[in-house]
Chain A
Protein backbone atom coordinates (compact mmCIF):
# COMPACT_ATOMS: atom_id res chain seq x y z
CA UNK A 1 0.00 0.00 0.00
CA UNK A 2 1.40 3.46 -0.87
CA UNK A 3 2.49 5.64 1.98
CA UNK A 4 1.74 9.32 2.46
CA UNK A 5 3.46 11.84 4.63
CA UNK A 6 1.29 14.29 6.52
CA UNK A 7 3.18 17.45 7.47
CA UNK A 8 1.51 19.32 10.31
CA UNK A 9 1.93 23.07 10.49
CA UNK A 10 0.51 25.33 13.15
CA UNK A 11 0.98 28.55 15.05
CA UNK A 12 2.28 27.28 18.41
CA UNK A 13 1.17 30.39 20.27
CA UNK A 14 -2.47 29.46 19.60
CA UNK A 15 -2.35 26.66 22.16
CA UNK A 16 -1.62 29.04 25.01
CA UNK A 17 -5.16 30.38 24.77
CA UNK A 18 -6.76 27.06 25.74
CA UNK A 19 -7.98 26.30 29.24
CA UNK A 20 -6.59 23.17 30.98
CA UNK A 21 -9.79 21.28 30.20
CA UNK A 22 -9.65 22.32 26.54
CA UNK A 23 -5.99 21.36 26.40
CA UNK A 24 -6.70 17.93 27.81
CA UNK A 25 -9.52 17.48 25.31
CA UNK A 26 -7.17 18.39 22.45
CA UNK A 27 -4.51 16.02 23.78
CA UNK A 28 -7.02 13.18 23.94
CA UNK A 29 -8.15 13.84 20.37
CA UNK A 30 -4.58 13.82 19.08
CA UNK A 31 -3.85 10.61 20.99
CA UNK A 32 -6.96 8.94 19.63
CA UNK A 33 -6.11 9.91 16.05
CA UNK A 34 -2.62 8.45 16.46
CA UNK A 35 -4.23 5.04 17.12
CA UNK A 36 -5.76 4.81 13.64
CA UNK A 37 -5.08 1.47 11.93
CA UNK A 38 -3.46 3.06 8.86
CA UNK A 39 -0.81 4.80 10.98
CA UNK A 40 2.77 3.86 10.13
CA UNK A 41 4.76 6.37 12.15
CA UNK A 42 4.22 9.59 14.10
CA UNK A 43 7.02 12.05 14.83
CA UNK A 44 6.78 15.23 16.83
CA UNK A 45 9.47 17.86 16.25
CA UNK A 46 11.11 19.73 19.10
CA UNK A 47 10.04 23.32 19.53
CA UNK A 48 13.25 25.06 18.66
CA UNK A 49 14.25 26.96 15.52
CA UNK A 50 16.30 24.04 14.21
CA UNK A 51 19.10 24.56 11.69
CA UNK A 52 19.08 25.10 7.97
CA UNK A 53 22.05 23.96 5.91
CA UNK A 54 22.33 25.58 2.50
CA UNK A 55 24.60 24.20 -0.15
CA UNK A 56 26.01 26.23 -2.97
CA UNK A 57 28.16 24.94 -5.77
CA UNK A 58 31.83 25.43 -5.22
CA UNK A 59 31.43 26.62 -1.64
CA UNK A 60 31.28 24.95 1.70
CA UNK A 61 27.73 24.38 2.99
CA UNK A 62 26.73 26.75 5.78
CA UNK A 63 24.43 26.00 8.70
CA UNK A 64 22.23 28.75 10.10
CA UNK A 65 19.40 28.91 12.62
CA UNK A 66 16.01 27.97 11.30
CA UNK A 67 13.65 30.57 9.86
CA UNK A 68 11.40 30.53 12.89
CA UNK A 69 10.85 34.12 13.87
CA UNK A 70 9.55 35.35 10.52
CA UNK A 71 7.03 32.59 10.02
CA UNK A 72 3.88 32.21 12.05
CA UNK A 73 3.08 28.64 11.07
CA UNK A 74 5.81 26.15 11.79
CA UNK A 75 6.26 22.49 11.01
CA UNK A 76 5.46 20.76 14.28
CA UNK A 77 5.56 17.12 13.30
CA UNK A 78 4.66 14.55 10.72
CA UNK A 79 2.89 11.24 10.24
CA UNK A 80 3.45 8.48 7.77
CA UNK A 81 0.17 6.78 6.88
CA UNK A 82 -0.99 4.17 4.43
CA UNK A 83 -3.62 4.94 1.81
CA UNK A 84 -4.54 3.57 -1.60
CA UNK A 85 -4.26 6.96 -3.31
CA UNK A 86 -4.30 10.70 -2.70
CA UNK A 87 -8.07 10.79 -2.39
CA UNK A 88 -8.02 8.25 0.40
CA UNK A 89 -5.04 9.88 2.09
CA UNK A 90 -6.85 13.22 2.12
CA UNK A 91 -10.10 11.66 3.24
CA UNK A 92 -8.33 9.88 6.12
CA UNK A 93 -6.76 13.15 7.20
CA UNK A 94 -9.93 15.23 7.11
CA UNK A 95 -10.96 14.39 10.68
CA UNK A 96 -7.56 15.10 12.21
CA UNK A 97 -7.99 17.38 15.26
CA UNK A 98 -5.15 19.56 14.00
CA UNK A 99 -7.58 21.03 11.44
CA UNK A 100 -10.20 21.71 14.11
CA UNK A 101 -7.61 23.76 16.01
CA UNK A 102 -6.71 25.85 12.98
CA UNK A 103 -3.61 24.01 11.82
CA UNK A 104 -2.61 23.12 8.26
CA UNK A 105 -1.76 19.63 7.00
CA UNK A 106 0.24 19.03 3.85
CA UNK A 107 -0.25 15.58 2.29
CA UNK A 108 2.59 14.18 0.19
CA UNK A 109 3.00 10.77 -1.36
CA UNK A 110 6.30 9.02 -0.72
CA UNK A 111 8.19 6.79 -3.13
CA UNK A 112 9.17 3.29 -2.20
CA UNK A 113 8.31 1.19 0.80
Chain B
Protein backbone atom coordinates (compact mmCIF):
# COMPACT_ATOMS: atom_id res chain seq x y z
CA UNK B 1 0.00 0.00 0.00
CA UNK B 2 1.34 3.39 -0.94
CA UNK B 3 0.48 6.40 1.16
CA UNK B 4 -2.28 8.64 -0.05
CA UNK B 5 -1.87 12.38 -0.26
CA UNK B 6 -2.52 14.41 2.85
CA UNK B 7 -5.98 15.95 2.99
CA UNK B 8 -6.15 19.04 0.83
CA UNK B 9 -2.68 18.56 -0.61
CA UNK B 10 -1.87 16.98 -3.94
CA UNK B 11 1.22 14.89 -4.50
CA UNK B 12 3.81 16.69 -6.53
CA UNK B 13 3.47 15.85 -10.23
CA UNK B 14 0.34 13.79 -9.50
CA UNK B 15 -1.29 14.95 -12.73
CA UNK B 16 1.77 14.24 -14.83
CA UNK B 17 2.27 10.78 -13.39
CA UNK B 18 -1.40 9.88 -13.53
CA UNK B 19 -1.80 11.27 -17.04
CA UNK B 20 0.89 8.91 -18.32
CA UNK B 21 -0.64 5.92 -16.61
CA UNK B 22 -4.19 6.72 -17.61
CA UNK B 23 -3.34 7.30 -21.26
CA UNK B 24 -1.46 4.00 -21.31
CA UNK B 25 -4.33 2.19 -19.67
CA UNK B 26 -6.98 3.63 -21.99
CA UNK B 27 -4.79 3.08 -25.04
CA UNK B 28 -4.54 -0.58 -24.10
CA UNK B 29 -8.29 -0.93 -23.64
CA UNK B 30 -9.22 1.07 -26.75
CA UNK B 31 -6.34 -0.06 -28.91
CA UNK B 32 -3.35 2.05 -29.95
CA UNK B 33 -5.23 3.34 -33.00
CA UNK B 34 -7.38 5.38 -30.63
CA UNK B 35 -4.61 7.02 -28.72
CA UNK B 36 -6.23 10.38 -29.45
CA UNK B 37 -9.42 9.37 -27.62
CA UNK B 38 -7.32 8.17 -24.70
CA UNK B 39 -5.37 11.44 -24.58
CA UNK B 40 -8.47 13.62 -24.92
CA UNK B 41 -10.27 11.73 -22.18
CA UNK B 42 -7.38 12.10 -19.78
CA UNK B 43 -7.02 15.80 -20.61
CA UNK B 44 -10.74 16.32 -20.02
CA UNK B 45 -10.62 14.42 -16.73
CA UNK B 46 -7.92 16.79 -15.49
CA UNK B 47 -9.99 19.75 -16.68
CA UNK B 48 -12.99 18.38 -14.82
CA UNK B 49 -10.86 18.14 -11.69
CA UNK B 50 -9.84 21.76 -12.13
CA UNK B 51 -13.45 22.79 -12.44
CA UNK B 52 -14.84 20.85 -9.50
CA UNK B 53 -12.17 20.28 -6.84
CA UNK B 54 -11.75 23.95 -5.87
CA UNK B 55 -15.42 24.09 -4.84
CA UNK B 56 -16.05 20.53 -3.71
CA UNK B 57 -12.68 19.88 -2.11
CA UNK B 58 -10.29 17.08 -2.97
CA UNK B 59 -11.89 13.69 -3.48
CA UNK B 60 -10.86 10.99 -1.02
CA UNK B 61 -8.62 9.34 -3.59
CA UNK B 62 -7.63 11.84 -6.31
CA UNK B 63 -5.87 9.28 -8.58
CA UNK B 64 -8.89 6.96 -8.50
CA UNK B 65 -11.20 9.91 -9.16
CA UNK B 66 -9.18 10.87 -12.23
CA UNK B 67 -9.22 7.28 -13.47
CA UNK B 68 -12.95 6.94 -13.06
CA UNK B 69 -13.72 10.23 -14.78
CA UNK B 70 -11.28 9.60 -17.66
CA UNK B 71 -12.82 6.16 -18.09
CA UNK B 72 -16.34 7.58 -18.20
CA UNK B 73 -15.36 10.31 -20.64
CA UNK B 74 -13.76 7.71 -22.90
CA UNK B 75 -16.96 5.63 -22.78
CA UNK B 76 -19.01 8.67 -23.75
CA UNK B 77 -16.58 9.59 -26.51
CA UNK B 78 -16.84 6.09 -27.96
CA UNK B 79 -20.61 6.09 -27.80
CA UNK B 80 -20.83 9.50 -29.42
CA UNK B 81 -18.22 9.11 -32.08
CA UNK B 82 -18.61 5.39 -32.71
CA UNK B 83 -15.00 5.39 -33.70
CA UNK B 84 -14.72 1.67 -33.50
CA UNK B 85 -17.64 0.90 -35.73
CA UNK B 86 -19.62 -2.11 -34.57
CA UNK B 87 -17.17 -2.90 -31.83
CA UNK B 88 -17.45 0.44 -30.05
CA UNK B 89 -20.56 -0.49 -28.10
CA UNK B 90 -19.03 -3.75 -26.92
CA UNK B 91 -15.83 -2.07 -25.80
CA UNK B 92 -17.74 0.70 -24.06
CA UNK B 93 -19.83 -1.90 -22.24
CA UNK B 94 -16.72 -3.81 -21.26
CA UNK B 95 -15.13 -0.62 -19.90
CA UNK B 96 -18.26 0.27 -17.98
CA UNK B 97 -18.38 -3.20 -16.44
CA UNK B 98 -14.70 -3.45 -15.55
CA UNK B 99 -13.74 -2.30 -12.10
CA UNK B 100 -12.21 1.13 -12.07
CA UNK B 101 -8.52 0.60 -11.43
CA UNK B 102 -7.41 2.03 -8.12
CA UNK B 103 -3.74 2.81 -8.63
CA UNK B 104 -2.76 1.93 -5.06
CA UNK B 105 -3.79 -1.65 -5.68
CA UNK B 106 -0.53 -3.54 -6.24
CA UNK B 107 -1.85 -5.83 -8.99
CA UNK B 108 -3.40 -2.93 -10.89
CA UNK B 109 -0.27 -0.84 -10.44
CA UNK B 110 1.65 -3.65 -12.10
CA UNK B 111 -0.87 -3.87 -14.92
CA UNK B 112 -0.59 -0.13 -15.43
CA UNK B 113 3.18 -0.35 -15.64
CA UNK B 114 2.74 -3.09 -18.23
CA UNK B 115 0.35 -0.80 -20.11
CA UNK B 116 2.92 1.95 -20.10
CA UNK B 117 5.63 -0.36 -21.37
CA UNK B 118 3.38 -1.72 -24.08
CA UNK B 119 2.53 1.78 -25.18
CA UNK B 120 6.17 2.75 -25.38
CA UNK B 121 6.66 -0.18 -27.73
CA UNK B 122 3.58 0.82 -29.70
CA UNK B 123 4.79 4.31 -30.40
CA UNK B 124 8.47 3.63 -30.90
CA UNK B 125 9.67 3.02 -34.44
CA UNK B 126 9.88 -0.75 -34.86
CA UNK B 127 13.61 -0.62 -35.55
CA UNK B 128 14.33 0.79 -32.11
CA UNK B 129 12.09 -1.81 -30.48
CA UNK B 130 13.80 -4.64 -32.36
CA UNK B 131 17.20 -3.36 -31.34
CA UNK B 132 16.00 -3.08 -27.78
CA UNK B 133 14.62 -6.60 -27.74
CA UNK B 134 17.81 -8.12 -29.09
CA UNK B 135 19.70 -6.60 -26.21
CA UNK B 136 23.23 -5.21 -26.30
What separation, in Å, do the CA atoms of A30 and B58 have in the docked complex? 12
Residue B121 interfacial (CB < 8 Å): no
Residue A63 interfacial (CB < 8 Å): no
Tally of contacts, chain A with chain B, CB under 8 A: 50
A27 nearest CB across to chain B (Å) = 5
Residue A53 interfacial (CB < 8 Å): no
- Once A15-B47, A16-B43, A16-B47 are accepted as A-B contacts, the answer to whether A24 and B14 lie under 8 Å apart by CB is yes
- The answer to whether A47 and B15 have CB atoms under 8 Å apart is no
Collect the chain A residues with CB atoms within 8 Å of residue B50's CB.
15, 23, 26-27, 30
Residue A20 interfacial (CB < 8 Å): yes
Which residue of A24, A31, A42 contacts B16 across the interface (Cβ within 8 Å)?
A24
What separation, in Å, do the CA atoms of A76 and B43 have in the docked complex? 18
- Once A20-B15, A24-B15 are accepted as A-B contacts, the answer to whether A44 and B47 lie under 8 Å apart by CB is no
B12 nearest CB across to chain A (Å) = 9
What separation, in Å, do the CA atoms of A16 and B41 have in the docked complex? 12
A85 nearest CB across to chain B (Å) = 26
What separation, in Å, do the CA atoms of A72 and B126 have in the docked complex? 43
Interface of B is mostly: helix
Collect the chain B residues with CB atoms within 8 Å of residue A30's CB.
50, 54
Please provide the chain B residues from 63 to 81 with a CB less than 8 Å away from any CB of chain A in the complex.
none
What separation, in Å, do the CA atoms of A28 and B13 have in the docked complex? 12
- Once A16-B43, A27-B10 are accepted as A-B contacts, the answer to whether A21 and B51 lie under 8 Å apart by CB is no
Residue A34 interfacial (CB < 8 Å): yes
What separation, in Å, do the CA atoms of A26 and B8 have in the docked complex? 15
Please provide the chain B residues from 1 to 32 with a CB less than 8 Å away from any CB of chain A in the complex.
8, 10, 13-16, 18-19
A110 nearest CB across to chain B (Å) = 19
Measuring CB to CB, which residues of chain A are less than 8 angstroms from any residue of chain B?
Answer: 15-16, 19-21, 23-24, 26-28, 30-31, 33-34, 42-44, 47, 76-77
